[in-house]
Amino acid sequence: MTFDYDLFVIGGGSGGVRAARVASGEYGAKVGLAEESRMGGTCVIRGCVPKKLMVFASGFPEAFDEARAYGWEVGAARFDWTRFQSHLATELDRLEAAYRSTLSNAGVVVHDARATLVDPHRVRLADGQEFSARHILVATGGRPFVPEFPGAELAVTSNGMFDLATLPKRALVVGGGYIASEFACILHGLGVKVSQYYRGAQILRGFDDEARGHISNAMRARGIDIHCGTDVMRLERTQGGIRAVATDGTEREFDLVMYATGRRPNTEGLGLEALGVSLGRQGQIEVDRYSQTGVPSIFAVGDVTGRINLTPVAIREGHAFADTVFGAKPTAFDHELVASAVFTQPEMGSVGLSEEAARAQEPIEVYSTAFRPMKAAFAGKPDRVLMKLIVSQATRKVLGCHIVAPEAGEMIQLAAIAIRMGATKEDFDRTCAVHPTMAEELVTMRKPTRSA
């Protein structure tokens, strides 16, 4: 049978673009790609990239304060939200153009339209065009989820945070995950009075308990009003803003309510179930280790599969798919020991097992230290950083590393290489410290804090 394309990709985010580029540019496949929105997907257009730029912007007030302690004369500072937005829009346009150029240079045919599946080898665009393909890759990502409750339409999600007409004076962030906690810190740094409601006992569920407690305490010390064990019952429009009626009996008024209560895969209306593609409870596409669904010609990568919702993971899954299907090199991405960073203030970097998960698996030793770093101590700030290693008693391998500190994301990337290679605690101990740095504590902790 003759097909219009060897591969048709639905979704122009990081995973889909990588798969398309490699299949076409490196392996010579004829590739088509459909994207109904902007090229680059969640990460580039409404996720990691603009969020990190907002993190940078929100950190300057603290930097100005530190500068004074270091002898600099710093005048009154004022943040211009409109100016920042304009610069941000220009940067996102540049990045989107770069994605399109990458696809064009690789020979990928781009269709700026929504695509759905007709059968295991055929897709239909929103304008009615249909194309056949030997293989179809679904890489449609995910979207923010807002539960149903009275007044839910008054809330915004992370998708809308970069397009606000003005910065609010009072904001409520609902949720306790990394997106909610990051935006609580961002808004606070930009001068907004921030409250954060989370129905659980502690924010950042799934991360190491000691690390998440350290971050929560630091956020509270900075002035973010965190309420755990609290959820919103309803939102009401008032003359002065939005009233949030909470489960703890309080009623408070805000100018902005942002929900970050999880994400859902973008699988609705694609026609997957009718073709026999299995979906999980949250709508995620069920795939095997090679990203193949139960329908042999249909594959899926990235957030739409609900495995690990991180951009670098989607990219590696997309590349592995192309190597497997078009490069004759069966490749399964290993989802173990994937490092991550949470861009709160302070920042967190994490790789491997938390203390709690490791303790449930085997006997461990915990090496942990919290201290005031030199920069903060000189400036008279109370900020403390946390360095933590989880070590197997049996093998001496480092099972997990957790860092809460400025630039923790930069540090954890390097620690992840060592841990991925199977480094032991003694390997860390034999590594000479770089002084004076915060990270030197990772190789100078000699005695365990506790064993379990």
pLDDT in tens, 336-362: 999 999 999 999 999 999 999 999 999
Which DSSP state fits 443? G
Q: According to the model, what pLDDT value does residue 452 have?
A: 87
Cβ neighbors of 285 (< 8 A, separation 6 or more) are 138, 265, 267, 272, 277, 278, 279, 293, 300, 304, 305, 306
Cα(409)–Cα(390) distance, integer angstroms: 18
| pLDDT above 90: residue 1 | no
On the question of a cis peptide bond just before residue 382, with omega within 30 degrees of 0, the verdict is no
Record the tokens describing residue 40, joined without a space: 């680059």
Do 174 and 256 contact (CB within 8 A), yes or no? no
State mean pLDDT over 292-303.
98
pLDDT tens string 115-141: 999 999 999 999 999 999 999 999 999
Cβ neighbors of 129 (< 8 A, separation 6 or more) are 111, 113
The average confidence (pLDDT) of the chain is 97
Amino acid at 332: A
* Neighbouring C-beta atoms of residue 302, cutoff 10 Å: 36
| pLDDT above 90: residue 440 | yes
State what percent of residues in the chain have pLDDT above 90.
Answer: 99
State what percent of residues in the chain have pLDDT above 70.
Answer: 100
Q: All domains of the chain, ordered by start, with CATH?
A: 5-143+264-326 (3.50.50.60), 152-261 (3.50.50.60), 346-451 (3.30.390.30)
Residue 38 has φ and ψ, to the nearest 5°, of -85, 145
Supply the pTM of this predicted model.
0.96
Residue 30 has φ and ψ, to the nearest 5°, of -85, 115
Q: According to the model, what pLDDT value does residue 311 have?
A: 97
Q: According to the model, what pLDDT value does residue 319 have?
A: 98
Give the CA radius of gyration of the chain: 24
3-state secondary structure of 169: coil
pLDDT tens string 44-103: 999 999 999 999 999 999 999 999 999 999 988 999 999 999 999 999 999 999 999 999
Record the tokens describing residue 216, joined without a space: 């929560």
pLDDT tens string 380-406: 999 999 999 999 999 999 999 999 999
| pLDDT above 90: residue 5 | yes
Query: What is the set of active-site residues?
Result: 435
Instruction: Specify the length of the chain in residues.
Output: 452
